[in-house]
Structure 1
Amino acid sequence: MATIIPCLFFAFSQASDFKKVCESQVKCLSCGAESNTADEIMDISLEILHSISIKESMQKKFQSEILDGNNKYKCETCDKLVTARKQMSSILQMPNILVIQLK
């Protein structure tokens, strides 16, 4: 059975202290159309298995990935599934308290 240890720091914090706004972009590699999305998130999940530091994991988080094969993107301009590049482009609003989940 897990033990829950209360943390006074978090008890006195507000949800807005943790909220951040991240912008991501998907670019169609066929026509060049871009789609930008801003999402409110409460934490950042970082893959640490093949990284030597949190800084390196954060850099990998902001690297682009290719959407292809079974993971193709539905481009509204082309009106079909296409190969695209997806990237978290920026953090628009930084939180007062940054929560990092290490995976």
Structure 2
Amino acid sequence: MHHAYDKVMVEMEELKAKRNETCSLSHEDANLESVNELQSPPRVRTRGRPKNRLGSKLDKQIANASKKKKTKDLNELKVMFFKLVVIILIFLLIFLLICEFIISS
């Protein structure tokens, strides 16, 4: 078992050296970082506040972006509705003026 561990450690150091373009293959150079690379990542706690969950930052960014988009779309809709109401009021005023002109003539 120790032999297999040493063999894996040497392979990890070789891969690390290739990645960093340095050569450090001895067993004595194996440090805590190399041991941590062999181990699985720690468990991610999914309960509790959203900031504790994995990927919550991305979820929050997506939610905020969609809120901004909805707010922007809603504001544009309000502006368009206001313009439509103003146009209708102008046409109504013109229509009333024309009717009054026709009646008075």
TM-score bin, normalised by smaller chain: under 0.3
Higher RCO (CA < 8 A, seq sep 6+): 1
- Structure 1-normalised TM-score? 0.17
- Structure 2-normalised TM-score? 0.17
